[in-house]
Structure 1
Amino acid sequence: MEYKWMIREKADPKTVESLSKEININPTLANMLVNRGIDSFQKAKDFFRPDLDKLHDPMLMKDMDKAVGRLNWAIKNEEKILVYGDYDVDGTTSVAMMYGYLRQFYPNVDFYIPDRYKEGYGISEKGVHFAAENGFKLIISLDCGIKAISKVALAKELGVDFIICDHHTPGEVLPPAVAILDPKRQDCNYPYKELSGCGVGFKLIQAHCKHRGGDNSKVMAYLDLLAISIAADIVPITGENRIFAYYGIERINNNPRPGIKALILRSKIEKEIEISDIVFKIGPRINASGRLEHAKASVELLISRDLEDALTRAEIVDTVNAARKNFDENITREALSMIESMEEVRQMRTTVLFKEDWHKGVIGIVASRCIERFYRPTIILTESNNKATGSARSVFDFDIYEAISECSDLLEQFGGHKYAAGLTLEVEKVPAFQAKFEEVVSSKIHDIHLKPVMEIDDEILLDQINYKFFNILRQMAPFGPGNPEPLFTVKQVYADNVRILKDKHLRFNVVQDGQETKPICIAFGMADKTTYPDEIIYKMLLRKMRFDLAFEIRENTFRNNSSLQLYVKDIKFD
């Protein structure tokens, strides 16, 4: 896929110079920080030294007083409490956190995860009836519930109260719950709006623990689960989320709970955990059980108190994840073939595909895979319970949730975010939805949205790459949305000592005129990649053709020797 490079504009020179002097860093690094909104000494201090004392007061969230009061009432009157969550990573970590917190001091608590295939996303009638029939008087829903108006009303009729902890965008009407915790409510003045579902649940246990005079360290013990939810749900790692992620990853690396330790061992990660490890290795394993079987297995793994038990459960989850990969690959191949075989579909500005026998558990992954080949808003639909149900994924800076909402007259339900959403409609309405979605997106999207963008922080010289420079970059972690890993470019360079590794990767030294530094570059998967018709990058490098390089700076350790290497993200030849 060819990327459009966007090198960030230089920040205000006076601000850059001032910050550079105040925190004693070079202008290149100061410029990068200012472009990320870190333009003063205090902001830099908050960024580089995250502080748990800077977390916002949970009582600032609308309805928090009601939620704490209702939870206290349930405990005082020995009511049965049901912790209810979605089947993805955010939902399962939320349930493991809330259930784990409550069971420390209260025995009348259980948890419930809906079956993806029999009940679908969010609050289900089956789940509500389960609560009522089994004597539960309070449901705490996590990562779902903000649009479950009829289901919460049903629960109320059956004598079951709801506390909703959600982070999705509310509709115009809110459910009749006792308390609705959602920073995206228009009437909520909570200072930070981008919490994960687990993050909203964390604020509830933080408030409740403070109210009952409990040990705050027991609340902070759940930061590992919260960090996983933040990484896997792809919420911005800014503000409060940065503090959560920073200390959560620190806990994962130093003192992980048995379930997370087992997942690390199964993932064969032998270095310090980073956000990317959660996104690509730990998160998919937690997700797998909910995709193919039942997410209860993931919750039981995460709440396990014994490493031996956790390892057994992690092996089961890992086996399911291997099966998930197989479904993913086969359905992706079929979906791409459908697009490529139809000229009319290839020329569209959207992809909306439906096939009744595709596995519901992997269609979100398939949508993302299709975008890697055909870069445009994509929805993959399959049949479930006699309905067409689907997952939507978007492209850079295009709000797919808003586009779907304009097609709501054809839908039974939908929900999600700017970049990802889910929807359900009648099977016979799929062609009408395909046409309307294409019409809506075409009227809103611009050509710039239809080519993947690679945002580059700055152009540098090779001699700037040293450990002093790198050590400051390393302190900017954790990286993710809102704080991407620094990406640089060097111009008019050429390659030396070019080699192919394992038949698919490239290794070479990059050389720049007038610069002494000649770092090693690793270009994963580029051994047979072409940049122009019939021009293989490997052969062009051997001919010492000039190129511009986009890269991240990483540390490589081999036999106790460490060195800096450049991880190649893209190459553009003259």
Structure 2
Amino acid sequence: MHVWHLQPVDERVLRALEDGLGLSPLEARLLASRGVSGVDDAHRILNPAIEHLHDPFLFNEMAEATRILHEAIARRDKILVHGDYDADGVCGTALLVEVLSRLGADVHFFVPDRAKDGYGLARRVMDRGFEAGLKLVVSVDCGSSDREVVAALVERGVKVVVTDHHETALRIPEAHAFVNPKLPGERYPFKELTGTGVAFKLLQGLERAMGVDLSLAGGLDLVALGTLGDSGAMLDENRVLVSRGLEVLREWRRPGLRALRDESGLSKNGFSTRQLSFTVIPRINSPGRIGSARAAVDLLVTADEAEATRIARQIGADNERRKELGNGVIDDAVKYAEYRVWHDEPKALVFSAPTWHEGVVGIAAARLAERYDMPAVLIAVRGGFGKGSARSAGKVNVKEALERCSRYLVDFGGHKEAGGFSIREEDIPDFQRLFEEVVEELVSCPSAPCALRADAEAVLADCTLDLSSFIERLGPFGTANPEPLLMISNLKVVGHPREVGGGHLKFEAADATGEVRDLIGFSIVSRWKPEDVDGKTVDVLAHMRKNTYQGKTAPQIQIGEMRLSGTAEPSGSGAAVSGAE
């Protein structure tokens, strides 16, 4: 059971926002619930601008990285951009290749094959590159843990610039430059840049070092997609990069993204970051999940419409295959989970199978964690080894849990919400037992109900198109900047609630003032059937969004959580409201 709370805010800040910006009390509360401290802070939230980005030379080694890159371009040295196979790595690779090509660099790129190479710098490619005269390797979204490969390159006379954003304990001493905001001792003020974001900062530094205009704003569409694809925290620089990048994306300048938009069915205008995450971004990810991600980079950098259409169609086919493979894994995992949950009270779900594709176990683990509200780990086994993906369900720090199980792992990596690892098949049972024990120790509130935290209370008359527009300005939404939740209480369900669209619940409700509105809850019929709410009085936690139908846009109240009014105990100090904590 979840307890609902109202996000506490400073009343002095509320008054300052109302007076200084001319906001309504509800708008001011929504801003204050984001942690806004005053009018100047609010201006930065409401009007994110490139000028708000940090100086790239605050990175400890940016000067050295840009010097090495500048010299390699000037000498026409052979440069290899080595990316990663996910959307973040693909977009960052495409961005660097595009800009360096415009500068006349002899630049090539490589993204590893998940099955052949695994994560990180691929030694087989480095060997071939050295034979072909490779002089400089620039990593994107990888490299921080690849000391052996970096050292081998340096020994052969190849320079290496690592750009990455993954957690790391030590700088690789052999690397000529190491640009990673999470490196211990790194003074760069924003630690949550993604791989594409770090690549963009490298180009910002190069632009200044060379004293030329690289027209970097045109590449912000790639930065936005890479950041969203990696679930980057929507704070500070990431909010600026994504919001400005979405403006560029809406112009649809790239043939590849136009083709991918058409193939995915995404609307040309009026799309949200949430819609991108279900359409374009999975398609950028799909080639790397089941094969080589090279096609995704080619799609993003091509200027040829016909080639873009051809690649987009192939990626569409890859995505359908990815979904088929993923659905098979999910079906299997749910069967295992149902049996396990029925016979036991597990704190985590850990399953493995030799028939699963390693490229889709991460997606399936995320679905399993969400469905059962507990950490989930799925492992694809082949040739005596397993490739696993872990998801937290918001319960534990996955990276910490994997660290505590590392005695059974060949290698591992990740962050708080997700992680990946390799494991010997014979060690899987011991890992399963230990992982469940570790989760039981780490789980944050094993006995107390977890809290949902709402940003503000509202009545139906507040739910207007103007409010939806104001809420949009608080985005982009994502990790660390969730979409606001409004608590609307004591709604009398009128008319006849009905199921629509296969699993969605729709009904009309009236509040105490007599205002009547439609509400819809997507995919909640498994929890709330129409007869459960017919004639009842309910409280809801809802998102205020816009719905466009037949050319007309109207506000839409979308239910996130619901309960029967009067069924929850008081949550202390008055407020009983919530947004996920």
AA partner of residue 262 (structure 1): A
Distance of aligned partners of 1:171 and 1:51 in 2 relative to their CA distance in 1, 3 Å threshold: same
Cα deviations by residue, 1:412-438 (Å, 9 ceiling, x for unpaired): 211111111111122111112112222
- Residue 385 (structure 1) shift: 5.3
Partner of 1:161: 159
- Residue 440 (structure 1) shift: 1.8
Q: Secondary structure at the match of 1:245?
A: helix
- Residue 309 (structure 1) shift: 1.8
Looking at structure 2, the residues matched to 107 and 59 of structure 1 have their Cα atoms a distance apart, in angstroms, of 23
Looking at structure 1, the residues matched to 119 and 451 of structure 2 have their Cα atoms a distance apart, in angstroms, of 32
Matches within 5 A, 1:102-117: 102-117=100-115
Distance of aligned partners of 1:345 and 1:429 in 2 relative to their CA distance in 1, 3 Å threshold: farther
1:231 aligns with 2:228: yes
1:340 aligns with 2:338: yes
- Residue 306 (structure 1) shift: 2.1
Cα deviations by residue, 1:95-138 (Å, 9 ceiling, x for unpaired): 10111111112241110111100110111221321321222111
Q: Does the 8 Å contact 1:519/1:565 carry over to 2?
A: no
Looking at structure 1, the residues matched to 552 and 427 of structure 2 have their Cα atoms a distance apart, in angstroms, of 61
AA partner of residue 538 (structure 1): P
Looking at structure 1, the residues matched to 207 and 383 of structure 2 have their Cα atoms a distance apart, in angstroms, of 41
AA partner of residue 514 (structure 1): T
Distance of aligned partners of 1:409 and 1:340 in 2 relative to their CA distance in 1, 3 Å threshold: same
Partner of 2:533: 541
Q: Secondary structure at the match of 1:482?
A: coil
AA partner of residue 367 (structure 1): A
Q: Secondary structure at the match of 1:138?
A: strand
- Residue 451 (structure 1) shift: 7.4
Distance of aligned partners of 1:401 and 1:297 in 2 relative to their CA distance in 1, 3 Å threshold: same
Q: Secondary structure at the match of 1:248?
A: helix
Partner of 1:240: 237
Q: Secondary structure at the match of 2:278?
A: helix
Matches within 5 A, 1:120-519: 120-172=118-170, 174=172, 176-216=174-214, 218-270=215-267, 271-342=269-340, 346-384=344-382, 386-396=384-394, 398-447=396-445, 454-497=452-495, 498-516=497-515, 518-519=516-517
- Residue 77 (structure 1) shift: 2.4
Matches within 5 A, 1:43-122: 43-122=41-120
- Residue 452 (structure 1) shift: 7.3
Looking at structure 2, the residues matched to 49 and 573 of structure 1 have their Cα atoms a distance apart, in angstroms, of 39
Matches within 5 A, 1:15-30: 15-30=13-28
Distance of aligned partners of 1:273 and 1:471 in 2 relative to their CA distance in 1, 3 Å threshold: closer
Equivalent of 1:573, from 542, 564, 570? 564
Distance of aligned partners of 1:529 and 1:431 in 2 relative to their CA distance in 1, 3 Å threshold: closer
Cα deviations by residue, 1:180-226 (Å, 9 ceiling, x for unpaired): 1001112111111110100000000111122112214x211110000
Distance of aligned partners of 1:28 and 1:449 in 2 relative to their CA distance in 1, 3 Å threshold: farther
| Aligned structure 1 segments of 4 or more residues deviating by more than 6 angstroms | 449-452
Distance of aligned partners of 1:448 and 1:230 in 2 relative to their CA distance in 1, 3 Å threshold: farther
Q: Secondary structure at the match of 1:117?
A: helix
AA partner of residue 264 (structure 2): S
Q: Secondary structure at the match of 1:360?
A: coil
Q: Does the 8 Å contact 2:171/2:183 carry over to 1?
A: no
Q: Does the 8 Å contact 1:252/1:273 carry over to 2?
A: no
Structure 2, unpaired ranges of 5+: 566-581
Cα deviations by residue, 1:282-327 (Å, 9 ceiling, x for unpaired): 1110111111121011111111112232121111000110111111
Looking at structure 1, the residues matched to 52 and 340 of structure 2 have their Cα atoms a distance apart, in angstroms, of 54
> When the two structures are aligned, how many residues end up with a matched partner?
563
Q: Secondary structure at the match of 1:254?
A: coil
Structure number with higher relative contact order (C-alpha < 8 Å, ≥ 6 residues apart): 2
Q: Secondary structure at the match of 1:485?
A: coil
Q: Secondary structure at the match of 1:221?
A: helix
Cα deviations by residue, 1:443-479 (Å, 9 ceiling, x for unpaired): 1213359977644212211122223333322222222
Q: Does the 8 Å contact 1:360/1:384 carry over to 2?
A: no
Cα deviations by residue, 1:517-554 (Å, 9 ceiling, x for unpaired): x222122234x4344xxxxx201333x11111121112
Distance of aligned partners of 1:384 and 1:304 in 2 relative to their CA distance in 1, 3 Å threshold: farther
Distance of aligned partners of 1:307 and 1:438 in 2 relative to their CA distance in 1, 3 Å threshold: same
Q: Does the 8 Å contact 1:33/1:39 carry over to 2?
A: no
Distance of aligned partners of 1:335 and 1:106 in 2 relative to their CA distance in 1, 3 Å threshold: same
Distance of aligned partners of 1:80 and 1:450 in 2 relative to their CA distance in 1, 3 Å threshold: farther
Structure 1, unpaired ranges of 5+: 532-536
Q: Secondary structure at the match of 2:279?
A: helix
Looking at structure 2, the residues matched to 134 and 451 of structure 1 have their Cα atoms a distance apart, in angstroms, of 61
Range moving further from structure 2, 23-32 or 54-63: 23-32
Looking at structure 2, the residues matched to 256 and 523 of structure 1 have their Cα atoms a distance apart, in angstroms, of 36
Q: Percent identity?
A: 31
Range moving further from structure 2, 490-499 or 106-115: 490-499
Range moving further from structure 2, 438-447 or 410-419: 438-447
Looking at structure 1, the residues matched to 498 and 346 of structure 2 have their Cα atoms a distance apart, in angstroms, of 40
AA partner of residue 552 (structure 1): H
Cα deviations by residue, 1:262-295 (Å, 9 ceiling, x for unpaired): 1111111223232112211111101111111210
AA partner of residue 177 (structure 1): A
Range moving further from structure 2, 478-487 or 502-511: 502-511
- Residue 373 (structure 1) shift: 2.1
Looking at structure 2, the residues matched to 16 and 434 of structure 1 have their Cα atoms a distance apart, in angstroms, of 49
Q: Secondary structure at the match of 1:294?
A: coil
Looking at structure 2, the residues matched to 430 and 24 of structure 1 have their Cα atoms a distance apart, in angstroms, of 59
TM-score after normalising by structure 2: 0.93
Q: Does the 8 Å contact 1:147/1:175 carry over to 2?
A: no
Q: Does the 8 Å contact 2:546/2:554 carry over to 1?
A: yes
Partner of 1:534: none
